[in-house]
Amino acid sequence: MEGSMRHGFYPVALRLAGRLCIIVGGGKVAERKLRGLIEAGADRIELISPDVTREIEACAAGGRLIWRNRPYAQGDLEEAWLLIAATDDHALNASLAEEADKLGILSNIADDYESGSFITPAVTRNGPLIMAVTTSGASPALAKALKKELDERYGNRYGEAAERLGELRKLILAGDDSSEAKEELLRLAAKEVLEAGIEDRTPEQWLKGLIARTKGRALS
Ligand SMILES: C[C@@]1(CC(=O)O)C2=NC(=C\c3[nH]c(c(CCC(=O)O)c3CC(=O)O)Cc3[nH]c(c(CC(=O)O)c3CCC(=O)O)/C=C3\N/C(=C\2)[C@@H](CCC(=O)O)[C@]3(C)CC(=O)O)/[C@H]1CCC(=O)O
Ligand SMILES: NC(=O)c1ccc[n+]([C@@H]2O[C@H](COP(=O)([O-])OP(=O)(O)OC[C@H]3O[C@@H](n4cnc5c(N)ncnc54)[C@H](O)[C@@H]3O)[C@@H](O)[C@H]2O)c1
């Protein structure tokens, strides 16, 4: 197996609910990262900055985050699970990256794509369907433009489909077919959605149709 050091990123989807996320900085970049955390379901957010945008201030007033209205102070990261450093102070961002590593905290450093343990992709969300694009730091603007194209092309079409497939999947997995038969049904359902779109029927009706299709094929 060959790795690539240059583009050495491992994409994951993190579960943030209940975990303390700290943003240091309160400018335009901090605001965008904050929006991303909220959309991802983060419910314990602290933002440390002596100065914030209006949107950040409104989010704090609405109880979406705790705003510490002061500069970063040593020790602020100790309880954190994840850090986003988005100040305009390069030396501070760099030292935050080091401190996070020492403490074992995930870190995103907005002004230096080589430090920090993760970078944030451009993201589009439609129900459970999340499409994320990264250029490994080569061109954030391209990541943003590609994300828009993906959203226009697939977002509306497959967001609801993913939701419905999720319900169908639960039904199939709860049944007592063999695991091979279940996998075949699940693959067939996803293929059907790609080829024909979703039809207006209950998961039970859908499953019936799929079973008929797999049986029909076995006989032919
Ligand atoms: C995708 C997106 C996600 C998000 O942030 O939510 C994101 N940047 C976005 C936009 C954007 N950022 C910049 C521009 C101006 C045009 C340009 O420079 O191309 C635009 C375009 C715009 O604003 O229109 C400038 C910029 N960005 C970074 C640096 C510093 C450096 O390169 O080290 C500088 C120079 C700062 C300076 O000049 O001082 C660094 C990073 N930006 C990343 C992510 C990570 C790599 C992701 C990847 O490559 O896939 C990484 C490495 C770290 C990180 O932030 O995680 C978000 C689109 C959101 C959306 O979808 O709407
Ligand atoms: N990753 C990205 O996508 C991206 C995009 C554009 C810019 N950048 C980089 O990100 C950084 C921030 O950009 P911006 O446009 O949000 O800047 P900005 O000037 O709008 O905001 C900077 C923020 O940092 C805060 N700050 C400064 N010193 C602080 C301290 N000691 N403690 C806490 N907060 C402090 C300020 O109060 C301010 O809120 C810049 O260095 C820029 O180069 C990154």
**Over the chain, what is the mean pLDDT?**
94
CA distance 31 to 50: 14
164 and 198 Cβ atoms separated by less than 8 Å: yes
Beta strands in 21-175 (DSSP E): 21-24, 45-48, 66-68, 82-85, 106-109, 122-126, 129-133
Nearest CA owner, ligand 1 atom 55: 110
Residue scoring higher pLDDT (64 or 5)? 64
- DSSP 8-state class, residue 145: H
Ligand at minimal distance from the CA of 116 is: 1
Ligand at minimal distance from the CA of 135 is: 1
Residue 82 has pLDDT above 70, yes or no: yes
User: In the prediction, which pLDDT does 123 show?
Assistant: 98
Candidate from 23, 32, 49, 123 with most ligand 2 atoms within 8 A of CB, to mutate: 49
Mean pLDDT of 126-152: 97
**Pocket lining: 72 vs ligand 2, CB cutoff 6 Å:** yes
- DSSP 8-state class, residue 220: -
188 and 209 Cβ atoms separated by less than 8 Å: no
User: In the prediction, which pLDDT does 157 show?
Assistant: 87
Mean pLDDT of 149-154: 96
Residue 220 has pLDDT above 60, yes or no: no
ipTM surpassing 0.85, yes or no? yes
Residue scoring higher pLDDT (4 or 114)? 114
The band of 197, judged by pLDDT with boundaries at 50, 70 and 90, is confident
User: In the prediction, which pLDDT does 219 show?
Assistant: 44
